[in-house]
Amino acid sequence: MQPHRQIKATELLERLSEGENLNLIDVREVIEYHTYNIGGDNIPLSSLERKLNGLTYNKTDEIIVICKVGLRSETAQAILEQHGYSNVRNLRGGLIAVQKLK
């Protein structure tokens, strides 16, 4: 299995500030997402496997998975990779890391 690829909060914020259209999946629960988010699709980890068939991403698209600290998104990354998604990146340190930079 390939080592888990990550993206640093600095790179993510830089790409977002440049207006890049990124495929973000926030795997926190709905209430967490509505409290604070940086955009993207909110698909809670608890329902990710059930919703895989409804995803509109290509299996080779870069997908960045995010959560509060990077643990749930690491699990989501593994689930997506097990289902054939080959370019999934986990936000290192999660949204806590993003908030520290703002």
Per-residue pLDDT reduced to its tens digit, 27-50: 999 999 999 999 999 999 999 999
Backbone φ and ψ for 65, nearest 5 degrees, come out as: -100, 135
- Predicted local confidence at residue 102, as pLDDT: 85
Cα 19 to chain center, whole Å? 17
d(CA 80, CA 78): 6
Of the pLDDT bands very low, low, confident and very high (cuts 50, 70, 90), residue 53 is very high
3-state secondary structure (DSSP) of residue 65: strand
Q: How many residues does the chain have?
A: 102
Q: Mind listing the domains of the chain with CATH numbers?
A: 6-101 (3.40.250.10)
pTM: 0.94
Structure tokens at 54: 């409804």
Question: What mean pLDDT is predicted for residues 17-21?
Answer: 96
* CA angle 43–44–48, rounded 5-degree value: 70
Cα 69 to chain center, whole Å? 11
